Chain A
C-alpha cells in the first residue's frame, strides 16, 4: 500500500477521533484529507482509509461517488466552477461562461491540453447576492463582469 497520511493529516486525524462517538463519522474528514494530500482520492487512499476506519471499501466508494466535490481522478491546476443556478443565470452567467471559453479555448467540462485549467458549470454555490460568480479551486469570486473574469484568467495564466 503506497498511501498513508502525512504528518499534518495524521495529527488532524488524532485530534478528530475523540470528538466523534464513532470512527465511521470520520469518513468525510478522511476523504478530504486524502484529496488535499494527493489532489484526488486514489485507490490506495481508499484502501488505507477503509482499513483505518474499519469499514468496507465499497461503502467508501459509494460515499465518494455520492458527493460532487470528491474526485477519483486528478483535476487541472485551476478548476473553474461557474455557478449556473437561477440567480446567476438571471444576472449573466452565460456571458461569463462564453468569455472563459473564448479566453481558454475550451468548452464546459473540458480541460486545457496542458491541464492547467478546467471549466465546469455547477449548481448553486450559495452566493446569489454576488451573482454571477465562480469558484476558483476553493476561492469564491463574486459580482463578476466579463472584464473581471478575463483579468482573473490573465493573472492565472502568467
Chain B
C-alpha cells in the first residue's frame, strides 16, 4: 500500500544533510526546470492534477495561475511572493514535520521550482512557534543551500535571485488559515481576512502571493522530474497522486505513511497501522484532522481515502491525519476535548465563533458534569446552525460540522448522559 514519492529519502541516515540529499537525487530537477520557460512548470503541475495537501485539496495549478496572473495584470506590483505554510496545528496531523526533519532539502528544491514558476524572488516558510527543532533544522538546511550556491543571488549559477526566510509563529492555530498566516507574517494578530467573491491569490503587503502547504511544495520536484503522467499513475482520476497519511490515538503503529489516494481506510488501519491497540474493537475514526466529521466503525469499513469518496460518505479527507478510537472511548468526553480546543483557538474576530465556541464548550461540560438540561442537544444544533456559514473563515463552520458529526452518529451516548443529569435533578 505504501507509495514513496515525498517520503522516499526519509529512512536514509542523515537524509537531512545536503551531501546525503544530493546523493539521493535532490536538486536534480533544477537544471532541467531553469533552462525552460517558467510556464512549463506551471503547465506540468496543472496537468498532474496536484491538489493542495494542507487539508482543503484545492487544485494547486489553478492556485498558482492566480498568483502569476494577478502579477501580470497589475503592472505596478513588480513583486510576488511564495509563502510555505508549515503552521501544522490541526489535531491529529503531524506529517509536515516529517518533511522538515528528514528531507528539508526536498522542500527547498520544491520552493526553488515554485518560485521560478510564479516569478517570486522572496519566499517565506511560516512555521508554528512550537516547532523549534524543525525550524532550526530548516535554517541549517537553508544555510547549507546558500553556502553551496543553490540559493542567493544566482540560483545554482542561473541568473535568478532567490531568498528563503524561515518565519516562526508563536502559538496560534488560526495562523494555519492562509490569510491569517499572511496577517501574522505582516506582524499583526492572526485574524483571517474577508475573501473576495471570486478566486483570488493572497496579498502580502499588497503583492500577489501564493500560499501552499509544505507537502504540496515537496511534491513539485517529483512532478517536474518525472512528468504529470507519472504522478497521475497513482491515486484516482480526481485525486491523483499520494498523501502522507497519519495514524494516532488507539492504534498499534502510530506514524506517518505515504500512500496513493483511494486506498481502503479499514485496510490501512488493519495492515499498516497494525490494528486497534490492545486487541479492542474499533469505535470511531476522525479521518483527517479534528475538523473533519467523525466516522463510526461501519462507515470506516466503506471509506476510501480520496477527496471524493470521503465527501460522499459525509465527511472529508482533510489532512489525512486519522485519530483512531477504540470501543471504550467516551464520545461525550472526546467531543468535550475538541470543543475546548476550538474554544481556546478561536481568534475572536467574529461573534458567532467567539461566543459560539465558548457556549458549546460550556454545554458539553454541563452534560459531562450531570448538569444538562433536557433540550441541550437541540440547543447545540441550533448554535451550530448559527456558527455555520456566517463568519469570515471556515473555523466556525468546521466546529459546527464536528458537533453535528458527533451527535448524528453517537446521539445515544449524549442522550444517556443527559438522562443521568435529569435523573439526578429529580432525585
Where the two chains meet, the residues of A that have a C-beta atom closer than 8 Å to any C-beta of B are 16, 19-22, 24-29, 31-32, 53, 55, 59, 62-63, 66-70, 84-87, 89-91, 123-131, 135, 138-140
Contact = CB atoms under 8 A, between A and B. Distances in A.
Contact of A129 (B169, B171, B248, B329): B248
B129 A63 contact: no
Shortest beta-carbon contacts, A-B, top 8: A27-B187, A67-B170, A128-B248, A68-B171, A69-B171, A138-B132, A87-B248, A66-B189
Contacts of A84: 337, 340
A125 B205 contact: no
A28 B168 contact: yes
Contacts of B79: 21
A123 B344 contact: yes
B254 A28 contact: no
B337 A89 contact: yes
Interface stretch (B91-99, B304-312, B364-372): B91-99
Contacts of B89: 124, 126
Contact of A87 (B92, B170, B207): B92
A138 B186 CA distance: 24
A140 B169 contact: no
Contact of A128 (B91, B128, B189): B91
Contacts, number: 144
Interface in B319-336: 321, 323, 325, 329, 333-334
A45 to B, nearest CB: 15
B71 to A, nearest CB: 14
Contact of B337 (A26, A27, A62, A85): A85
Contacts of A28: 167-170, 184, 187
Interface in B234-279: 246-250, 254-256
29 contacts: A21-B79, A21-B205, A24-B187, A28-B169, A28-B170, A29-B167, A66-B189, A67-B190, A68-B172, A85-B91, A85-B337, A86-B91, A86-B92, A86-B341, A90-B325, A90-B329, A91-B248, A91-B249, A91-B250, A123-B344, A126-B93, A126-B97, A128-B92, A128-B248, A128-B249, A129-B248, A131-B249, A131-B254, A140-B133
A28 to B, nearest CB: 6
B170 A128 contact: no
B345 A123 contact: yes
A66 B167 CA distance: 17
A35 to B, nearest CB: 9
Nearest to B338: A86
Contacts of A91: 248-250
Contacts of A85: 91, 290, 337-338, 341
A68 B170 contact: yes
B165 interface: yes
B88 interface: yes
Given A86-B323, A86-B334, A90-B250, 13 more contacts: A21-B204, A26-B187, A31-B170, A63-B187, A86-B91, A89-B333, A90-B329, A90-B334, A123-B91, A126-B97, A128-B91, A129-B256, A130-B254
B188 interface: yes
B157 to A, nearest CB: 22
Interface string B148-180: 000000000000000101011111110000000
Contact of B128 (A19, A20, A90, A126): A126
Contacts of A16: 165
Contacts of B325: 90
B294 to A, nearest CB: 11
Given A22-B186, A69-B130, A124 B341 contact: yes
Interface in B220-240: none
Interface centre among A27, A29, A59, A90 (most CB of B within 10 A): A90
Given A126-B93, A138-B132, A131 B248 contact: yes
A128 B163 contact: no
Nearest to B129: A69
B415 interface: no
Given A28-B170, A68-B170, A128 B94 contact: yes
Contacts of B255: 129
B286 interface: yes
A92 B79 CA distance: 49
Contact of B88 (A53, A62, A89, A126): A126
B131 interface: yes
A16 B79 CA distance: 18
A69 B168 CA distance: 11
A25 B81 CA distance: 14
B122 interface: yes
B46 interface: no
A21 B207 contact: yes
B338 A24 contact: no
Given A16-B165, A124-B89, A131-B249, A86 B170 contact: no
